[in-house]
């Protein structure tokens, strides 16, 4: 295989991956198969027939083009819950108060790495907060695979 053929193969593979693994705002057509997550976390397939049940699934974001995308969502949900439970355990009875002018700590991604951020009064959607820098650092170390999955870091 020469260089040009290799480049063409790479482009072909890129297009396949984009079609196979990127969901974007995909909605099946009537009669088209899709994947969804059951209430107990398994992945099942169904055929789009329209109507309230299917529209509700779509509005909740529970329609996936591929089994891999559905599984990725299951894995992300499990990781997020694990992080929330960890924070609840280590934070003890601490209740976050955005009006107390005290720092709160959370994990954020910087390119392909993780770091601890502190803020006082700004709420960030879906962040899990820690009452101290030390607890946040420990969480980042203990839950590195979960954070990397959520941030899409390899």
Both tokens of 104, joined, read 């709160």
Return all residues near 146 (Cβ < 8 A) that are at least 6 apart: 79, 80, 82, 83
Domain ranges of the chain: 14-65, 76-154
pLDDT attached to residue 6 = 66
pLDDT attached to residue 20 = 53
Average pLDDT of every residue of the chain:
91
- Strands 113-119 and 33-37, sheet pairing: unpaired
Residue 5 pLDDT > 80, yes or no?
no
Burial 36-68 (b: 16+ CB within 10 A, else e): bbeeeeebeeeebeeeeebeebbeeebbbbbee
In this prediction the pTM is 0.80
pLDDT in tens, 130-143: 999 999 999 999 99
pLDDT in tens, 30-66: 999 999 999 999 999 999 999 999 999 999 999 999 9
Q: To which H or E segment does residue 72 belong?
A: helix 67-91
């Amino acid at each position: 295989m020469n260089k040009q053929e290799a480049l063409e193969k790479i482009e072909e593979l890129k297009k396949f991956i984009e079609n196979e693994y990127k969901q974007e705002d995909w909605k099946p057509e009537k009669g088209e198969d899709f994947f969804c997550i059951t209430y107990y976390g398994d992945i099942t397939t169904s055929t789009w027939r329209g109507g309230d049940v299917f529209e509700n699934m779509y509005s909740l974001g529970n329609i996936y083009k591929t089994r891999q995308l559905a599984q990725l969502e299951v894995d992300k949900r499990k990781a997020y819950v694990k992080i929330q439970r960890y924070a609840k355990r280590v934070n003890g009875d601490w209740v976050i108060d955005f009006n107390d002018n005290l720092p709160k700590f959370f994990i954020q991604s910087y390119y392909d790495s993780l770091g601890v951020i502190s803020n006082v009064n700004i709420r960030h959607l879906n962040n899990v907060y820690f009452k101290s820098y030390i607890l946040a650092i420990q969480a980042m170390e203990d839950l590195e695979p979960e954070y990397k999955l959520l941030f899409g870091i390899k």
